[in-house]
């Protein structure tokens, strides 16, 4: 092997190497430039791409702009207006700070910049290609900055061929922008791909509206708001109702001081907060925004700033877990089973001035369909409802009224203009009154329950308030046993039943460690085990609600449930995990219950804080309305 002499690399080579560390794909360019726009105080940002951003990217903002004399300096390496010394790395309040973004992007693409500061009379037009300055001139321009980035990796073809398809690269960009929009609800974002609008946010500061504009109506109408304030940090955001779950963690979004991050600690705390509300391998929806004091978090631990380090991990973990768990309890959570019908193509309701008078039911139907298509509490519906409320004050219309408006649906649905002309004899219906419905498990509602019976030896049928409720007897009984167990633990009235002769259990090193770590919790539940030599333990007592079940297997199941738990878990959570494994004494399906037994179990469910799901997250009860049944039997067309 021939030894090469040590030599200084050319600036062009240095720039391309640096670019490889910063610019991995088109979404990397978008990330750097949009974060710069946010740091520049922009309140509106538009991103347009062609061919997944490979051939063209355009990022426009209305931020501060760049003074003409600073433009060439901005494209040099390690130049920035965001920090001045290493000490400031501990108190960052900007998204970018390394000073490599513009130089790296310019090294591997053709960049055109148009920018103007608020106090300047004219703007500046700057062109730089492959890190070589081409042009710097004055031109008319609005306040703010526009970047055109063309032909990415045109001078490094080996890197360009490793990009994925334009569609995939475009999806990476959309995912990135959606996260930036969620962390900045006060900024109006717009994303255009190949001439088509992909999504737009209002920038009104309302996080729920932003979630609606990005994820659509189904998710936005199934949210639970959460807030927490601890010493050193605050938390605000939304989690999804348990029914809004997915088979992966893609819908878990965490933001720390405005940055999207990936955090196993926060993910674990979120999922533990859903313990008892979701089944295994189901994951929740969440958009959670944390604001930390400078000394509580270090954001400079990952090159792309996707990870952070918390000063007090245990405090953050327990605060999030407790906040999520508290938000999910004490709330009605009975899933309604809809009747699945084939979707029929609906025509846009347009009525000419000479048409027959509307029937009241037809007008109500149109109003209901419009309101149904718009998410509650969004500016679009408030605008429409304001118009309708004014018209509802009139009992008749003397002249035909032409109403034009736009119904804004989820971002992926195009804006649909509609015109409704109301004839002079039409009567505008008053707004319907809203009555608070009694909870199915309330004492008042219980008096009106009509228990129809049991089907398949597993489910109970109960009629109440024009709904058919279906209760899973095993899940319901399991929940009752679990809550009883937890109540007795709280009251310190838990008792054990002795096992004679003792059951010998062989533990793995991991199981033994978990048992010794949580031995006090096991014993408070009624388990007692003594070391029997080697890897074996003698199980001499179990909780007294375990009857004709495999006591050895139940103990091992409870032990396995603790093997992956961290030592910083609260004792209450450990007890809940062990207790949930010990509730298999519940009555099983395919077991005939008498009417008094059914009555007794329903009465016991009434006393629970959260009777809607078993300890493992399965629903205990679902409902079907009379309307849905009538529709299924074609009584309603």
Tokens 């597993």 locate to 458
pLDDT at 397 over 60: no
Encode 509-543: b = buried (16+ Cβ within 10 Å), e = exposed. eebbebbebbeebbebbbbbbeeeeeeebbbbbbb
Q: Binning pLDDT at 50, 70 and 90, where does residue 343 land?
A: very low
Rounded CA-CA distance 100/11 in Å is 14
Instruction: List the one residue out of 365, 45, 424 whose CA is nearest residue 200.
Output: 45
Q: Which residues contact 121 (CB under 8 A, 6 or more apart)?
A: none
The Cβ of residue 342 has, within 10 Å, a number of other Cβ atoms equal to 4
Percentage of residues of the chain with pLDDT beyond 70: 69
Helix-strand-coil split of the chain, %, nearest 5: 35, 25, 40
The DSSP-derived string for 208-228 is HHHHHHHH-HHHHTSEEEEEE
pLDDT at 576 over 80: no
Rounded CA-CA distance 183/185 in Å is 6
Q: Do the beta carbons of residue 179 and residue 173 sit within 8 Å?
A: no
Torsion of CA 157, 15, 81, 180, to 10 degrees: 30
Q: Do the beta carbons of residue 10 and residue 107 sit within 8 Å?
A: no
Q: Do the beta carbons of residue 420 and residue 384 sit within 8 Å?
A: no
Encode 258-292: b = buried (16+ Cβ within 10 Å), e = exposed. bbbbebebbbbbbbbbbbbbbeeeebbbbbbbbbb
Apex 42 CA angle, 37 and 45, nearest 5: 75
Rounded CA-CA distance 289/205 in Å is 13
Instruction: List the one residue out of 312, 28, 74, 290 whose CA is nearest residue 182.
Output: 290
pLDDT of residue 387: 38
Rounded CA-CA distance 291/381 in Å is 31
Which range among 192-201, 593-602, 620-629 has the greatest average pLDDT? 192-201
pLDDT of residue 346: 45
What is the H or E stretch that residue 310 is in? strand 309-310
Rounded CA-CA distance 144/61 in Å is 6
- Assign 3-class secondary structure to 481-516: HHHHHHHHHHCCCCCEEEEEEEEEEECCHHHHHHHH
pLDDT of residue 435: 34
pLDDT of residue 547: 55
pLDDT at 436 over 60: no
Rounded CA-CA distance 223/240 in Å is 5
pLDDT of residue 423: 38
Which range among 27-31, 240-244, 397-401, 624-628 has the greatest average pLDDT? 27-31
Tokens 């705390």 locate to 269
**Helices vs strands, H then E, count in the chain:** 20, 27
CA distances from 3 to 8, 9, 216 (A): 16, 17, 61
Q: Which residues contact 70 (CB under 8 A, 6 or more apart)?
A: 81
Q: Binning pLDDT at 50, 70 and 90, where does residue 255 land?
A: very high
pLDDT at 235 over 70: yes
pLDDT at 293 over 80: yes
Domains belonging to the chain, first-starting first, are: 11-200 (3.30.565.10), 222-328 (3.30.230.10), 360-422 (no CATH), 442-637 (3.30.1540.20)
Rounded CA-CA distance 622/634 in Å is 22
Beta bridge pairs of residue 404: 419
pLDDT of residue 38: 94
- The mean-pLDDT minimum among 17-21, 234-238, 530-534 falls in 17-21
How does pLDDT run across 27-37, given as a tens digit for each residue? 999 999 999 99
Q: Do the beta carbons of residue 274 and residue 284 sit within 8 Å?
A: yes
Query: 3-class SS at 235?
Result: strand
Apex 385 CA angle, 383 and 391, nearest 5: 110
pTM, 2 dp: 0.61
Q: Binning pLDDT at 50, 70 and 90, where does residue 85 land?
A: very low
Q: Do the beta carbons of residue 67 and residue 117 sit within 8 Å?
A: yes
Rounded CA-CA distance 199/273 in Å is 31
pLDDT of residue 529: 92
How does pLDDT run across 135-162, given as a tens digit for each residue? 999 999 999 999 999 999 998 888 888 8
Region label for 487, one of left (φ > 0), alpha (ψ between -120 and 50) or beta (otherwise): alpha
Residue scoring higher pLDDT (317 or 573): 317
pLDDT at 506 over 70: yes
Q: Binning pLDDT at 50, 70 and 90, where does residue 586 land?
A: low
Rounded CA-CA distance 427/391 in Å is 10
Instruction: List the one residue out of 95, 113, 129 whose CA is nearest residue 15.
Output: 129
Torsion of CA 54, 55, 57, 58, to 10 degrees: -170
Helices (H), 156-276: 157-160, 166-183, 207-215, 217-220, 264-273
Percentage of residues of the chain with pLDDT beyond 90: 32
Specify burial of residue 345 (Cβ count, 10 A radius: 0-12, 13-18, 19+): exposed
- The mean-pLDDT minimum among 322-326, 409-413, 568-572, 621-625 falls in 409-413
pLDDT at 18 over 70: no
Q: Do the beta carbons of residue 519 and residue 605 sit within 8 Å?
A: no
Rounded CA-CA distance 187/45 in Å is 7
Q: Which residues contact 616 (CB under 8 A, 6 or more apart)?
A: 276, 279, 280, 478, 580
Question: Mean pLDDT in the chain?
Answer: 76
Residue scoring higher pLDDT (633 or 485): 633
Residue scoring higher pLDDT (487 or 461): 461
How does pLDDT run across 196-224, given as a tens digit for each residue? 999 999 999 999 999 999 988 888 988 99
The Cβ of residue 609 has, within 10 Å, a number of other Cβ atoms equal to 9
How does pLDDT run across 442-474, given as a tens digit for each residue? 777 778 888 888 888 888 899 988 889 998 888
């Amino acid at each position: 092997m021939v030894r090469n002499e040590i030599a200084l690399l050319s600036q062009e080579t240095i720039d391309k190497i640096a670019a490889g560390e910063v610019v991995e794909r088109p979404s990397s360019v978008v990330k750097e430039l949009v974060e710069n726009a946010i740091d520049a105080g922009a309140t509106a940002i538009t991103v347009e791409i062609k061919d997944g951003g490979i051939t063209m990217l355009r990022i426009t903002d209305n931020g501060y702009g760049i003074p003409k004399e600073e433009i060439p300096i901005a494209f040099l390496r390690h130049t920035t207006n965001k920090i001045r010394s290493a000490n400031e790395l501990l108190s960052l309040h900007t998204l970018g700070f390394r000073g490599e973004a513009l130089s790296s992007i310019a090294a591997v693409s053709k960049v055109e910049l148009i920018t103007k500061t608020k106090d300047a009379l004219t703007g500046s037009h700057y062109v730089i290609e492959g890190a070589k300055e081409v042009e710097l001139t004055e031109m008319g321009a609005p306040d703010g900055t526009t970047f055109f980035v063309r032909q990415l990796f045109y001078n490094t073809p080996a890197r360009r061929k490793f990009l994925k398809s334009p569609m995939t690269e475009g999806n990476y960009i959309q995912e990135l922008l959606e996260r930036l929009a969620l962390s900045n609800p006060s900024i109006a974002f717009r994303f255009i791909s190949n001439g088509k609008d992909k999504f737009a946010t209002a920038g009104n500061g309302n996080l729920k509206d932003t979630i609606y504009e990005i994820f659509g109506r189904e998710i936005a109408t199934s949210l639970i708001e959460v807030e927490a304030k601890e010493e050193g940090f605050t938390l605000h955001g939304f989690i999804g109702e348990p029914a809004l779950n997915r088979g992966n963690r893609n819908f878990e979004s965490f933001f720390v001081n405005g940055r999207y991050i990936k955090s196993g600690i926060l993910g674990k705390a979120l999922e533990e907060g859903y313990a008892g509300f979701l089944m295994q391998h189901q994951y929740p929806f969440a958009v959670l925004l944390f604001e930390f004091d400078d000394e509580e978090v270090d954001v400079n631990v990952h090159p792309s700033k996707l990870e952070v380090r918390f000063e007090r991990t245990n405090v953050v973990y327990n605060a999030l877990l407790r906040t999520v768990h508290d938000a999910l309890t004490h709330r009605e959570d009975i899933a309604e089973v809809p009747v699945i019908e084939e979707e029929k193509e609906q025509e846009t309701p347009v009525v000419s001035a000479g048409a027959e008078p509307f029937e009241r039911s037809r007008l109500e139907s149109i109003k209901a369909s419009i309101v149904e298509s718009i998410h509650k509490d969004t500016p679009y519906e408030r605008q429409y409802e304001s118009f309708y409320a004014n018209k509802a004050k009139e009992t008749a219309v003397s002249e035909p009224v032409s109403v034009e408006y736009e119904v804004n649906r989820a971002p992926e649905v195009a804006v649909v203009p509609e015109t409704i002309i109301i004839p002079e004899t039409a009567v505008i219906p008053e707004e319907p009154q809203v009555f608070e419905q009694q909870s199915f498990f309330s004492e008042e509602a219980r008096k009106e329950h009509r228990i129809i019976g049991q089907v398949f030896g597993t489910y109970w049928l109960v009629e109440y308030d024009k709904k058919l409720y279906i209760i899973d007897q095993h899940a319901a009984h399991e929940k009752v046993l679990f809550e009883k167990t937890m109540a007795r633990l709280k009251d310190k009235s838990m008792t054990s039943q002795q096992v004679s002769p003792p059951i010998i259990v062989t533990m793995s090193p991991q199981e033994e460690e978990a048992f010794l770590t949580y031995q006090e919790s096991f014993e408070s539940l009624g388990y007692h085990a003594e070391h029997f030599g080697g890897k074996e333990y003698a199980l001499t007592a179990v909780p007294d609600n375990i009857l004709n079940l495999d006591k050895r297997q139940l103990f091992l199941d409870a032990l396995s449930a603790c093997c992956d738990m961290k030592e910083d878990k609260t004792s209450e959570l450990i007890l809940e995990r062990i207790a949930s494994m010990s509730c298999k004494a519940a009555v099983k399906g395919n077991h005939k219950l008498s009417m008094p037994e059914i009555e007794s179990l329903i009465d016991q469910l009434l006393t629970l804080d959260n009777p809607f799901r078993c300890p493992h997250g399965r629903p205990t009860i679902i409902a079907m309305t009379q309307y849905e049944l009538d529709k299924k039997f074609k009584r309603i067309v």
